[in-house]
Amino acid sequence: MTLIYAGLSLGAVYALVAIGYNIVFVASRSFNFAQAQLMMIGAFVAYTGYVTLGLPAIVVVVLAMVVVMLVAAILERVAVRPVADHQTQLITTLGFGTVLTGLAQLIWGSQPLDVPFFGAKEAMTLFGGRLYSFELGLIVLSVVLVAVIHVYNRRMMSGLAIVAMSQDDEAAVLRGINVRKLAFAAFAITGLLAGLMGFFIGPKTFAVATLGSALALKGFVALAIGGFGSFYGGLAGGFVVGLVEEHAARYLGSEFSNLSVFLILILVLMLRPTGLFGQIQERTV
């Protein structure tokens, strides 16, 4: 069970990246490849608030969420809105993420920084396995976040509007939906959530300038396994990647962990090209 908990908590980190990808993808049919770097900034802000400034946990959470939300808003204005083509936006958001990585190295250095967690410091025993409170927090956060997003997209008018945009943005405009405003809001929300996620992933991964690039690829793999546009798929894909990576490292060796993950990705895409929860949308021409 200890190995399973380790895989689920690591998979929750990847799932949180995939959730951020999906929020932007559903709202604007584009990808924000700087999402993992936003979470990295959240982890660094959490370290600064906790260790450097000595702020209370709730203040650190709010600070991280606000700071990263502002960074995400700048990202949308600078790297997304001026570019009309979605393929080009892949390059501009990737470039923005590279800039964030460089700024993180300049401000906080290149050494990993230990981000404290407000919960218990000792490992707990649960169903015969050992895990830390921040690992349990990561798993719970990812599951709750997906459930909340699902309810929001089904019950709230703005959530229904975003779903309508994902189906046909031109028809959404004709129905009076402010597509540009909702797309900007999607980026701001991903920044808000990335700040919250950074507070939780920091104790698991440490705050380090290479964190963004390390999480970006695995988060995309989790999204591809689960299915583009599916939040439950991103959650399941993240857990699959985390479990495969931990078990492969334990039984085959750490050098086989990445290989095993991509073999699973190829196998899933061969059997279901749209991912585990992805759906093929048929449209009448």
How many degrees, rounded to 5, is the angle at CA 75 between CA 70 and CA 77?
Answer: 95
Q: Is the pLDDT of residue 283 over 50?
A: no
Long-range contacts of 74-78 (CB under 8 A, 24+ apart): 75/32, 75/34, 75/38, 75/187, 75/191, 76/183, 76/184, 76/187, 76/188
- How much is the pLDDT for 63? 92
Rounded Cα gap, residues 39 and 190, in angstroms: 9
Q: Is the pLDDT of residue 126 over 50?
A: yes
- How much is the pLDDT for 285? 41
Contacts of 83 (CB under 8 A, 6+ apart): 89, 92
Q: Is the pLDDT of residue 40 over 60?
A: yes
Element containing residue 125 per DSSP (H, E): strand 124-126
Tokens 């591809």 locate to: 224
- Residues 181-211 have pLDDT tens digits of 777 888 888 889 888 888 888 888 888 888 8
Q: What is the mean pLDDT of residues 154-172?
A: 66
- Residues 47-58 have pLDDT tens digits of 998 888 888 888
Closest CA to 193 of 33, 42, 26, 29: 42
β-pair partners for 207 = 113
Helix, strand, coil content of the chain in percent (nearest 5)? 75, 5, 20
Output the average pLDDT for the chain: 83
Of 123-132, 213-222, 231-240, 243-252, the least confident: 123-132
Closest CA to 134 of 223, 205, 230: 205
Contact 10, 219 (CB under 8 A): no
Q: Is the pLDDT of residue 164 over 70?
A: no
Q: Is the pLDDT of residue 159 over 80?
A: no
Q: What is the mean pLDDT of residues 155-184?
A: 68
Helix axis angle, 211-226 to 231-251, nearest 10°: 110
Q: What is the mean pLDDT of residues 23-33?
A: 80
Q: Tell me the CA end-to-end span of the chain in Å, nearest whole number.
A: 51
